[in-house]
Amino acid sequence: MAAIFDGFKYQDHVLCSDGVSLEEVAEKVGTPCYVYVSDIISKTYQELDRSLESIPHIICYAVKANPNISVIRALGQLGAGADIVSGGELFRALEAEIPSDKIVFSGVGKTREEIDSAIRRKILCFNVESEQELLMIDLAAKSFKRVADVCLRINPDVDPKTHPYIATGLKKSKFGIPYKKALDLIRAALRLKNVNLIGLGCHIGSQITETKPFTDSLNRMLKLYDQCAKLKCEFSYIDMGGGLGISYHHEHPPTVETYTQGFIKELKDRKLTLILEPGRSLVGNAGVLLTRVLYGKRGETSNFIIVDAGMNDLIRPALYSAYHTILPARYKKYKKIKASVVGPCCESGDILTKERRIQNFQPGDLLSVMSCGAYGSSMSSHYNSRVKIAEVMIHHGKFHIIRERETYEDLISKERVPSFLKKAAAVPA
């Protein structure tokens, strides 16, 4: 039977990846669980790295896409750096042995504590998003008697033509320094003693499936670089963010080659190191969510297939109406029906798919929700006091648990009962 998603195929009717059957994983680990395939991650990373070999570059994996330390480590061993947005992500990146001089710190709301720990670790740079943040970094660096390297994250006001919740480079967005104010802030940064301006960056959004938004934003950025040359400041880096889309359904994102050619063409004659911060494109199609059908139910107007994974495990369909392909882990001839695949959470929005023509899956069937390697586990929650689920990595014909399923004890382990609640309160006379 033919491959459906790169790296996944039916062998003797059983959905497998790298020689491991997803049925076997589910039997041993239980459901729901996330499964990632290290070979797919490596191939995807290496393809991107190779396609940029003609220009100096650093690929800083956007940890937010999938922060499991084994995933970060797998990429780090191939040479990736990390793009982080919190102290927690810095901690994870360092635990995964990413060299600190390959870590860039993005995000609009870095706290003083987070800034301090990143300065202590001597990261590659802060991607600064406002004047006040710039001043805060200068102050923090001064207290360490250091000079912190920074890039200014500019908002280029380019429409990425993606879901509005994940567009980040439009004028109205909270991200980045307004394009029109960029030169003023560059001048201000050059006057500060404890920051060293090493470059500019931007991030226009995620799940981008056209080339033009990338070339438009690069052109806007290079225009600024040329204006900066007149200020006699020399930059070493340009950070063009993440954002390359993947195919969830019928999307046709640019190939890696087409995507990188746009950068190479413009940067090959400039003395700049390109930083990219890909998340989804590296890990999105390397992961699936395994879930088992609990019940089928005919409502008065709709059919429901109720599964054991909820919106707390995968929130993308509820939050962005995101499409995820659902495949049976064992291929059978199914009758098709129109149904919603829903989870156990007490929310009408708890859906994996709404009213889709789909196989009439039966209780006990194991399903594989495809393209869940990015923003699946990382956006999961404990809603309805559901435990965080296990994560598994397939590597060369074997699978390894890389995060254990939580227990109920884990759920309450950080809660404290104050003494006044420990005894039954005395009933007043």
Q: Which of the residues are catalytic? A: 346
For ligand LLP, the binding residues in 263-302 under the rule CB under 6 A are 277-281
Footprint (CB under 6 A) of ligand LLP, residues 166-205:
166, 168, 203
Please identify, using beta-carbon distances, which residue of 32 and 278 lies nearer to ligand LLP: 278
243 binds ligand LLP (CB under 6 A): yes
Residue 86 or 206: which CB sits closer to ligand LLP? 206
CB closer to ligand LLP, 156 vs 241: 241
83 binds ligand LLP, rule: CB under 6 A? yes
Contact characters 203-242, ligand LLP, x per CB under 6 A: x--xx---------------------------------xx
25 vs 276, beta carbon nearer ligand LLP: 276
Using CB under 6 A as the binding rule, whether residue 253 contacts ligand LLP is answered as no
Q: What is the C-alpha separation between 264 and 260, in angstroms, rounded?
A: 6
Contacts with ligand LLP by CB under 6 A: the residue count is 22
What end-to-end distance do the CA atoms of the chain give, in Å? 78
**172 vs 335 by CB, closer to ligand LLP:** 172
The nearest distance, CB 163 to ligand LLP, in angstroms, is 7
Shortest distance (Å) from residue 77 CB to ligand LLP: 20
Our finding on whether 81 is near ligand LLP (CB under 6 A) is: no
- Nearest residue to ligand LLP, scored by beta-carbon proximity: 242
Binding mask 10-49 for ligand LLP (x = CB under 6 A): ----------------------------------------
Per-residue contact track with ligand LLP, 369 to 388, x per CB under 6 A?
A: -----xx---x---------
| CB within 8 Å of 116: residues ≥ 6 apart | 140, 143, 144
Looking at 16, 29, 41, 65, which residue binds ligand LLP (CB under 6 A)? 65
Enumerate binding residues for ligand LLP (CB under 6 A): 62, 65, 83, 106, 166, 168, 203, 206-207, 241-243, 277-281, 316, 320, 374-375, 379
